[in-house]
Structure 1
């Protein structure tokens, strides 16, 4: 797991292994948190219903 995370961090941030292994968890959290959207509000029921109407699931099975 650590090897994979190191590799992904190198790709995303352009870090060399030494930079990854010397970073603290707080530094990694700060960097990746900055990449998340500022708002993490939940979708309300009406918005979800509108999206479901606009983009219905494709039928599965049968015919």
Structure 2
């Protein structure tokens, strides 16, 4: 609510009518993008969380 009403300065009715996806898109410029997963990161995840039972 603080981001929508304060940072984005949305009117309360506009904020409450937004979907979570719309709010995330509006917040995009204010949230740093997560780095893409590279091959080394994928291999680390596969090692730590193998797909075996």
Q: Per chain length, whose mean CA-contact separation is higher, i.e. which structure has more relative contact order (CA < 8 Å, sep 6+)?
A: 2
Q: Normalising to structure 2: TM-score of the pair?
A: 0.49
Q: Normalising to structure 1: TM-score of the pair?
A: 0.43
Q: Bigger radius of gyration, 1 or 2?
A: 1
